């Protein structure tokens, strides 16, 4: 195996990167920054595999973000957040042509979500 050119990649202002997800077409990578409750977003080069930050480079999730899932049609992303008294699932629309995440109202839960899966 060979390292991807220009790696490792910075996820600023992310802190403590954790779970990640790639869209079904292999165009975009999303990283949950557990320590800063954000998601860093990257375009994946089809020829080299290198990463380039999207604009905006990150979006804010709920506190305690800990898992991520992208719907199979690449139209929605969900992030489980279990922090303190406010447990939610963050919901983002995905713009297909740019990979940009558009925040939607969070979904409240009654327990501490620690995983998310979608079809």
Tell me the pLDDT tens digit for each residue of 8-33: 776 666 788 889 999 999 999 999 99
Q: Say how far residue 50 (Cα) sits from the centre of its chain.
A: 17
**Residue 47 three-state SS:** coil
Name which of 93, 77, 87 is nearest 32 in CA terms.
Answer: 77
Name which of 41, 4, 46, 8 is nearest 25 in CA terms.
Answer: 46
User: Is 113 among the domain residues?
Assistant: no
User: Is 12 among the domain residues?
Assistant: no
The b/e string for 34-50 (b: 16+ C-beta within 10 A; e otherwise) is: bebbbbbbbbbeeeeee
**pLDDT tens for residues 50-83?**
889 998 999 999 888 999 999 999 999 999 998 7
CA 1 – CA 4 distance, rounded (Å): 9
Segments in the chain forming alpha helices (H):
none
User: Is 93 among the domain residues?
Assistant: yes
User: Is 84 among the domain residues?
Assistant: yes
Mean pLDDT, rounded, for 75-98:
89
pLDDT greater at residue 5 or residue 44: 44
Task: Return the ∠ at Cα 31 (arms to 103 and 95), rounded to 5°.
Answer: 40
**In the block, which residue shows the tokens 């992303």?**
77
Say whether pLDDT at 111 is over 80.
Answer: no
Judging by DSSP bridges, how do beta strands 51-60 and 65-70 pair with one another?
unpaired
Q: Which domain range does residue 39 map to?
A: 17-108
User: Is 4 among the domain residues?
Assistant: no
Q: What is the pLDDT of residue 84?
A: 67
CA 32 – CA 105 distance, rounded (Å): 18
User: Is 9 among the domain residues?
Assistant: no
pTM of the model: 0.88
Say whether pLDDT at 2 is over 70.
Answer: no
Q: Count of domains in the chain?
A: 1
Q: What is the pLDDT of residue 1?
A: 60
């Amino acid at each position: 195996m060979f390292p991807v050119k220009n790696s490792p990649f910075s996820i600023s202002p992310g802190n403590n990167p954790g779970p990640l997800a790639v869209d079904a077409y292999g165009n975009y990578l999303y990283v949950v920054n557990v320590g800063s409750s954000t998601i860093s977003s990257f375009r994946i080069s089809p020829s080299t595999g290198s990463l380039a930050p999207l604009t905006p480079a990150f979006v804010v999730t709920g506190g305690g973000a800990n898992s991520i899932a992208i719907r199979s049609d690449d139209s929605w992303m969900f992030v489980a957040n279990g922090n303190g008294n406010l447990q939610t699932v963050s919901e983002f629309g995905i713009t297909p042509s740019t990979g940009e995440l558009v925040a939607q109202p969070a979904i409240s839960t009654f327990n501490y979500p620690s995983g998310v899966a979608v079809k």
